[in-house]
Structure 1
Amino acid sequence: MQPSLEQLAITYKNLPADKLIRLAVTDAAGLRPEALELLKAEIKGRGLDDGILRGIDVQLNHVDDSQLNNYLALVRNQACPTCGDQSQQLNAVLSTTVISAIIFTHYKKAFSIGCPTCLKKANQKATLKTALLGWWGLPWGLMRTPQALISNTKTNKRINTGEPTPILVDFIKNNIGIIESIKNNDQSLQVMLTNLNNKQHYNKYHIIKHGANRHPIPSR
């Protein structure tokens, strides 16, 4: 049973600002029209940034290739969140790490966004760690380690092409509302990119849609 409009109005009124904004810029497309209007009214009533309202609207409309390319350019032309370099366009990759210790195997895909130089370093670090520590679990270490090494080799090739990677394109598509809401604020964009690297995993509420497997895999 759906909550009444009165209940929704009370819920939105009592939400802390950060949770209200997150709802607006990530989940607006899943709200019914009446709820959207209440959400917009609450945002306006609190005097929050107009970018949040744009972030709602962009989720409700089709984003064509031209608009998508504009968002890609916006993100790719930011300073690298790791080294601060602005001379290279940013990209995003997933680097896979496997660590084993006889009775367990830990398999992790870490998200990184940054300049090609920093992405290569992150990918090389994951590759080296996997090559040294990935093999020592049975049977999963022997299975996962070559998979990770092959995956990281492909990742390195994507970095070298200079083209936006599929994971970066997914990042834009899945988080269009967030990006639209802060597109005029370089400082907020930098905070977003830095937080992405600090979390190093990806899911809907941390900018990227799909979740990574960070759980140990038993070796039996």
Structure 2
Amino acid sequence: MDIKPIRHARGEATRQAILEAAETVFADVGFTTARLEDVAAAVGIRRPSIVYYFSNKQELYDAVEEDIFASMHRVALGGIAQHAKPIDRLLALFDEWLDFLVARPSAARIIQRLVADVTPRAGNPTQFSNVLLRDVETVVNEGIATGDFRPLPPMHVVNAVGSSSLFYVCNSKQLGSNRSYDAADPAELESFRELLHLLTRAAVAPERPG
């Protein structure tokens, strides 16, 4: 019996478990404070087992961040591909971002930490997030070219509208006990989505003649 496929499957399962545990640890305490020992304890393995897959904390963090942004990029492309009109493509992109972050709140917290502390990315803050920024640039520039959108920098759309999903997810328990909400609650989520759509449409709507 060839046990290589079994060993490979087990190895991949362990690597995935390490990535998932690391995402939670990095989200909870940040890159600087996080320790490989904390990740190992969360997985139920010893620190040397992590080093077998990831040689140091930076390499592990990079793998976590790369997976987050690559996954968001994939789901965004899937949403965009279902529509032809620029506004529908942009709404679908932001819908996919929102749904992804609601389902994976640890990813939202890591992205928010990255905005506040660029230490993990050193001199290249968009090393992994660039794929998402290009998605927005592509859709917004398409809308501008067809006259469906007003001329505006795509990054203004990211800052004014797209980033709101981060706050929606991360702030659910950070506004005081009397203002807490469940970001995944269907009614709460659809209420926020409706506002997100209104803001998106207002942000890119062509200017009306005086």
Give TM-score, length-normalised by structure 1. 0.27
TM-score under structure 2 length normalisation = 0.27
Higher relative contact order (CA 8 A, sep 6+): 1
User: Greater helix share, 1 or 2?
Assistant: 2
